[in-house]
Amino acid sequence: MFKQLPADETEIIGIVFNGKALQAPKGISVAAAILSRNPDHTRTTPVTGSKRLPFCMMGVCYECLMVIDGQANRRACATYVEEGMRIETQLGVGPALALEGGGSE
């Protein structure tokens, strides 16, 4: 569905998507990094479980909600990749919220 145009001199960092190690250019949004890998979906809806991908990419539609570093309901389009970031597909409302400072390990 999408591809990355040949990048010039971009710093590459490592992220983890659904347990799999991936590389992504530093500074791009989580949604962009994941979309460039052409996933089937990035969340399922809490109401009917239907599959969704990011829609607006500018922070207003909330379709790109994902579990990022253990925290559910984060907008992947308004969150930027960082070294070692763990990103997961959000199923329904996602896992119960991790305690502050806890993470999901």
Partner 1 sequence: MNNHYQLLVIGGGPAGLAAATTAAERGVTCALLDEQPTPGGQIYRAIEAIPEQRAKLLGPEYLRGRKLVNEFRQSAAEYFPETQVWSIDKEHQAGLLHNHQAHFITADQIIIASGAMERPVPFPGWTLPGVMQAGAGQILFKSAGIVPDNGVVLAGSGPLLLLLAWQYLHAGVEIRVLLDVTPFANHLQALPELPRALLAYRYLSKGIAYQLELKRAGIPIMFGVSDLTAEGNERLQRVRFSHAGKRKSIVSELLLTHFGVIPHIWLTQAAGCKHRWDNSQQCWRPELDDWGNTDIEGILVAGDGAGIYGARAAEHAGRLAGLQVLSALNVISRQERDQLSRKDRKRLHEERHIRPFLEAYFHLPDNLLATPGNDTIVCRCEEVTAGQIREAVAAGHENSNQVKFFTRCGMGPCQGRQCANAVAHIVADARGKSVAETGLFRGRPPVSPLTLGQLAQLPKKGTA
Using CB under 8 A as the criterion, which residues of the chain lie in contact with partner 1 when the complex forms?
1-5, 7-10, 25, 27-29, 32-33, 35-36, 38, 40-41, 45, 47-48, 50-63, 65, 71, 73, 77-78, 80, 97, 99-100
Q: Which is nearer to partner 1, 21 or 99 (CB)?
A: 99
**CB of 58: closest distance to partner 1 in angstroms?**
6
DSSP for 25-93, please give it: ETTSBHHHHHHTT--S-SEE-TTT--EE---SSSSSS-TTEEEETTEEEEEGGGSB--TT-EEEPEETT
CA distance 41 to 34: 10
**CB of 20: closest distance to partner 1 in angstroms?**
19
Q: Which is nearer to partner 1, 13 or 29 (CB)?
A: 29
